[in-house]
Amino acid sequence: MFRNKSGEFSWVDFTIDVLRVLIVLAVVVGAWNTLSSGRISLAQWVNLLAAGLSQGSIYALIALGYTLVYGILLMINFAHGEVFMAGAFSAFFLAEALNRTGFLNEQPLLSILLMFMFAGLISMTVAVLVERIAYRPLRGSPRLVPLITAIGASFFLQYAFRGLYGSNFKAYPQVRALQGAVQIGDISIPVAQIFVFCSALVLMFGLHWLVERTRIGKAMRAVSENKEVARLMGIDIDWVILFTFGVGGFLAGAAGVINGLFRPQGVNFYMGFIPGIKAFTAAVLGGIGNIPGAMLGGLFLGVIEAIGPNLVLAGLGIPGANQLKDVIAFTMLVLVLIFRPQGILGERLSETKA
């Protein structure tokens, strides 16, 4: 302890080690206090877990977009939160229209399926256009350049939506079929959360199948491993990259719908920012570039966010702990970057990939 690799005392290592001990202490003491006080019942913990998993599945779907693009281009697409926002917005308009005709509550499943398709396609289009217009011309330039462009694209999309639809908050109409809760003993879990979690699982399995089993999925993996050899196989790299952006976009659009079903309020031009950053955190947490990592990281972050404040922060006597879930999320990001930069499932990055 307190020594660097060459065995000398180092203040950086010392600080990191002290930090490590303090964090473990805080978590243990906080958790002990909360659990021994018995303030939160088992049923309530299960509720928190379920809410965390639903929120986490939204993060996971968005995180997949970050990780897919990173895997293939080693680039963080910071406009991806806005791709999510575009999907949430478009599904909102469709849901409104369906609600007005009454179709939404007559055929809830079909309506939601339509919303998924519509939002997915819109987000896919946005993601593909951003790649084609903003990123492709910069391919081969230093890595800082597309990063800055991504931030520019992100602002462009935010203010384009603000210009088109104003800055007030909109809310999804209620889907009656998703109201209510499933009762198991004294535990009750909202139907919406179960639905959200299950549809996210279906999408993730779909992605897994696409990447592992299909021709284009294998090509995506080949391109991410070695672009030059992939070209020698006759693979059109530009098309595969575009396709990857499209897939990530579709998942983000679907996440937009899921978000609207889970938490109807809050449709706004700025709504992609926080989930975007959180999903980026989730992707880093799981190991950026790693697909199962993004899924795991998303779910993990959602659960930590839901349980962490109540378990640790409240136990430490911090008031309004539930307001601090963003603190937990971003603390996680910082901690992962300090202690395990390659993420949970990530491999240690070589110089070329770092």
Q: Which two tokens stand for residue 101?
A: 């005709």
- Residue 232 touching other proteins (CB under 8 A): yes
User: Rounded to the nearest whole angstrom, what is the least distance from the CB of residue 349 to other proteins in the complex?
Assistant: 15
> What are the beta bridge partners of residue 190?
181
- Residue 230 touching other proteins (CB under 8 A): yes
Q: Could you tell me how many helices (H) and strands (E) the chain has, helices first? A: 13, 2
* Cβ nearer to other proteins, comparing 176 with 231: 231
* Cβ nearer to other proteins, comparing 220 with 303: 220
User: Rounded to the nearest whole angstrom, what is the least distance from the CB of residue 236 to other proteins in the complex?
Assistant: 5
Residue type, 126: V
Q: Which residues of 100-128 are buried (b: 16+ CB within 10 A; e: fewer)?
A: eeeebeeebeebbebbbbbbbbbbbbbbb
User: Rounded to the nearest whole angstrom, what is the least distance from the CB of residue 345 to other proteins in the complex?
Assistant: 14
Site size toward other proteins (CB under 8 A) is 17
Cα–Cα distance for residue pair 193/185, rounded to 1 Å = 18
Classified as helix, coil or strand, 3 is strand
- Residue 234 touching other proteins (CB under 8 A): yes
Give the closest residue to 48 by CA, choosing from 312, 255, 331.
312
Q: Which two tokens stand for residue 184?
A: 């198991």
Stretch that binds other proteins, among 134-142, 232-240, 293-301, 306-314 (CB under 8 A): 232-240
Residue of 225, 274, 326, 330 interacting with other proteins (CB under 8 A): 225
Q: Which two tokens stand for residue 238?
A: 């530009």
User: Rounded to the nearest whole angstrom, what is the least distance from the CB of residue 291 to other proteins in the complex?
Assistant: 12
User: Rounded to the nearest whole angstrom, what is the least distance from the CB of residue 139 to other proteins in the complex?
Assistant: 14
Q: Which two tokens stand for residue 290?
A: 């790693």
Residue of 231, 330, 338, 339 interacting with other proteins (CB under 8 A): 231
- Residue 228 touching other proteins (CB under 8 A): yes
Cα–Cα distance for residue pair 54/262, rounded to 1 Å = 8
User: Rounded to the nearest whole angstrom, what is the least distance from the CB of residue 215 to other proteins in the complex?
Assistant: 7
Cα–Cα distance for residue pair 304/296, rounded to 1 Å = 12
User: Rounded to the nearest whole angstrom, what is the least distance from the CB of residue 249 to other proteins in the complex?
Assistant: 24
Q: Which two tokens stand for residue 84?
A: 């999510």
Q: How crowded is residue 163: how many other Cβ atoms within 10 Å of its Cβ?
A: 10
Give the closest residue to 312 by CA, choosing from 16, 40, 53, 19.
40
Binding mask 183-222 for other proteins (x = CB under 8 A): --------------------------------x--xx-xx
* Cβ nearer to other proteins, comparing 120 with 289: 289
Q: Which two tokens stand for residue 16?
A: 């990191």
* Cβ nearer to other proteins, comparing 106 with 225: 225
Q: How crowded is residue 151: how many other Cβ atoms within 10 Å of its Cβ?
A: 13
Residues between 34 and 63 that touch other proteins (CB under 8 A): none
User: Rounded to the nearest whole angstrom, what is the least distance from the CB of residue 237 to other proteins in the complex?
Assistant: 7
* Cβ nearer to other proteins, comparing 20 with 218: 218
* Cβ nearer to other proteins, comparing 236 with 326: 236
Residue of 233, 334, 337, 338 interacting with other proteins (CB under 8 A): 233
Stretch that binds other proteins, among 140-148, 195-203, 226-234, 289-297 (CB under 8 A): 226-234
Residues between 136 and 175 that touch other proteins (CB under 8 A): none
Give the residue ranges of DSSP H helices in 168-226.
Answer: 191-213, 215-225
The CA-based dihedral angle spanning residues 282, 240, 78, 115, taken in that order and rounded to the nearest 10 degrees: -80
> Length of the chain, please?
354
Stretch that binds other proteins, among 103-111, 200-208, 224-232, 278-286 (CB under 8 A): 224-232
The answer to whether the beta carbons of residues 30 and 316 sit under 8 Å apart is yes
Which residues form the interface with other proteins (CB under 8 A)?
215, 218-219, 221-222, 225-226, 228-237
